[in-house]
Amino acid sequence: MIEQLQIGLTSGSSINILLSLSLIFLGGVVTSFTPCIFPMIPVVFSIISTTGGKSQTQKEVMTKVLLYGLGLSFSYVLLGMIAVLTKGIFGSFLHNIWIKIAIANLFFVIAFNTMGWIRIPQVYLNNMKLQSKSSLVLFGFLTGFTLSPCTMPVLAIVLAFSSQSSLLIGSLMLWVYSWGFFSILLLVALFGAEFKKKIPKSGPWLRKIEWALFILCLGIGEWFLLTSGGF
């Protein structure tokens, strides 16, 4: 799939570029359904939309959610820019067998963290006061980093691919990914209680997503090991 994305974004064809970015957007949507993200969507929505217990109009709630999403997208675009700007260093590192083995082990850790067998430390922002527009943007920005262990299975793939693109395309990829990740929360804000009722409840289907991401990360880790030249 990564090769198809690369062909699409470098071919210059608007159709191929649109298809590639659509796949990245879908990856963001899939990320929002991971077991440690999906149950938090109502919680995050409640934190954003409630201020001092006052009732608010849908327009006010939508504005707050969009500001949060703007901050979230900033954090991922920043990660994309860093990935692109360091691609020369990263590319030279990848010629080192020990770096490849280290990356393989990193993906194994991500895989085990996805299943809950080990825990990567996370920082929670429950006590942050959201009284202004800037605080909502900051909350979204910080959330992008604090939730990174949960988003890592898909995010790591997007970052690895974006590092091989131009600064503009790499940033665009992470911007599209962030809005895919944010789309469920946006729909909740747009359609309110009616949409929340239609969102599937947490259940066994989340476990299947866990296993799918676990196998994906194991496969990537194995690929780095096999291409390291030491086996």
Residue 84 lies in a domain: yes
Compute the mean pLDDT over every residue in the chain, rounded to the nearest whole number. 75
Residue 231 lies in a domain: no
Q: In terms of Cα–Cα distance, which of 153, 147, 148 is closest to 114?
A: 153
Q: In terms of Cα–Cα distance, which of 173, 180, 104, 182 is closest to 141?
A: 182
Q: Answer yes or no: is pLDDT of 177 > 60.
A: yes
* C-alpha distances in Å from residue 121, one per residue of 74, 148, 161, 210, 214: 22, 10, 25, 18, 18
Residue 170 lies in a domain: yes
134-164 pLDDT, tens digit each: 888 888 888 887 777 677 778 877 887 787 7
Total domains in the fold of the chain = 1
Residue 203: burial class (beta carbons within 10 Å; 0-12, 13-18, 19+):
exposed
201: domain range? Answer: 2-226
pTM of the model: 0.70
122-131 pLDDT, tens digit each: 544 555 555 6
pLDDT for 214 = 80
Residues 6 or more apart in contact with residue 134 via CB below 8 angstroms: none
Q: What percent of the chain has pLDDT over 70?
A: 70
Residue 142 lies in a domain: yes
5-32 pLDDT, tens digit each: 555 555 545 666 788 888 899 988 988 8
Residue 60 lies in a domain: yes
* C-alpha distances in Å from residue 192, one per residue of 42, 62, 80: 11, 10, 32
pLDDT for 202 = 61
45-81 pLDDT, tens digit each: 777 776 545 667 778 888 888 898 999 999 999 988 8
Residue 184 lies in a domain: yes
pLDDT for 77 = 92
Q: What percent of the chain has pLDDT over 90?
A: 7
